[in-house]
Amino acid sequence: MYREFYGFSEAPFAQSPDPKFLYLTRSHFEALSSMMSGIKNRKGVIVITGEVGTGKTTLIYALLKDLSEKIKIAFVFHPGFGPKDLLKNILLDLDVPISETEQNLLYFVSEFRRYLNERLTRDEIMAVVIDEAQNLDEEALEGLGRFCDLDTPAGGVLQILLVGHPELEVKLNSEKLWRFKQKINVNRQIAPLTREEGREYIEHRLKLAGRNIPQVFTSDAANRIWEFAQGIPRVINLLCDRALVNGFTKSSPIIDSKIVKEAMKELDYLRPANSNPFLQKLFSLKKTGYKVVRVFFMLLSFLLFIYTLRKLLAVMLHR
């Protein structure tokens, strides 16, 4: 709708996880590098976590695009599965023929083990990539981990990449998964964007769509977008897109802070909980109050010290 008006070659803030638009902050780069090296170097289990909307799925697509053909990939998304259904979905993604009559867990375990042994004879790597892994059934996760036991012939073939929300870390700390946790050799967290990274992120996407940030967003507008989104890329995308729509309806060639404020009101439900203006103000007042009380007691202590010192001097002089 606004592409022609602003001169974009494509929509700069589309919500689909497109690796073309990947902007690598330090934490994103470290996460992607850890994913890549962890699989190639046969680290076993790799865990990547981050808040909703921080770009985890985009990193997965970037990884899948760059992995060697010698690495066989099964990509499982939003896995609300038990052990049997997880293995079934993995095999289906690997294009392994599935019997229509044999549908029990032992059958799928046998077929997956056979597939791993085939990869072993060809000196290949098998990687199971699970997005939204916090939804995975504990029993399914525990069962999958048994396939990468190093005391089995094909133990070094299977690499497991778990990508999910911070709740995944909580799940992995459960008593039931303590054996599985011992197999985790790589664990990285993706952080929200800093203020500087937020501006660079917006500029990066605009450049790929054919424009520069000063040609579209004022500096204050970009700053307000980051503050509203608290550094979450998905929220930045949504707010930038809405601001561009509003700017287009107003025939405004530049998105200023006024247009961004209107978009923020429309998307207020996306505001992260810790960015609520009232709560921020209250927290700020509390901090100010603590500082005032602290200064007061420091001043009171100093006055008591002076008073005590004068009393001592007076006593000494009268002697």
Q: Is the pLDDT of residue 273 over 80?
A: no
Stretch among 76-85, 86-95, 133-142, 260-269 having the lowest mean pLDDT: 76-85
Domain ranges of the chain: 3-16+193-274, 26-190, 276-310
- Residue 70: predicted pLDDT: 87
> What is the DSSP annotation of 81-94?
--HHHHHHHHHHHT
Which residues are paired to 286 by β-bridges? Answer: none
Greater model confidence, 285 or 106? 106
Residue that the structure tokens 């202590």 belong to = 301
Residue that the structure tokens 């976590």 belong to = 49
Q: Is the pLDDT of residue 40 over 80?
A: yes
On the CB side of 266, how many CA atoms lie within 13 Å of its CA? Answer: 14
3-16+193-274: CATH architecture: Orthogonal Bundle (1.10)
Average pLDDT over residues 102-131: 94
C-alpha 128: how far from chain center: 19
Rounded to whole angstroms, how far apart are CA atoms 263 and 120?
54
Average pLDDT over residues 269-286: 53
Which residues are paired to 164 by β-bridges? Answer: 49
Residues 6+ apart with CB under 8 A from 90: 74, 76, 112, 128
26-190: CATH architecture: 3-Layer(aba) Sandwich (3.40)
Structure letter (DSSP) for residue 73: E
- Residue 155: predicted pLDDT: 83
Q: Is the pLDDT of residue 244 over 50?
A: yes
Q: Is the pLDDT of residue 101 over 80?
A: yes
- Predicted structure pTM score: 0.82
Stretch among 151-165, 208-222, 255-269, 285-299 having the lowest mean pLDDT: 285-299
Q: Is the pLDDT of residue 83 over 50?
A: yes
Greater model confidence, 114 or 292? 114
Topology match between the domains 3-16+193-274 and 26-190:
no
- Residue 150: predicted pLDDT: 74
The backbone region for 41, taken as left when phi is positive above 0, alpha when psi lies in -120 to 50, beta otherwise, is: alpha
Beta-carbon neighbour count of residue 11 at 10 Å?
Answer: 16
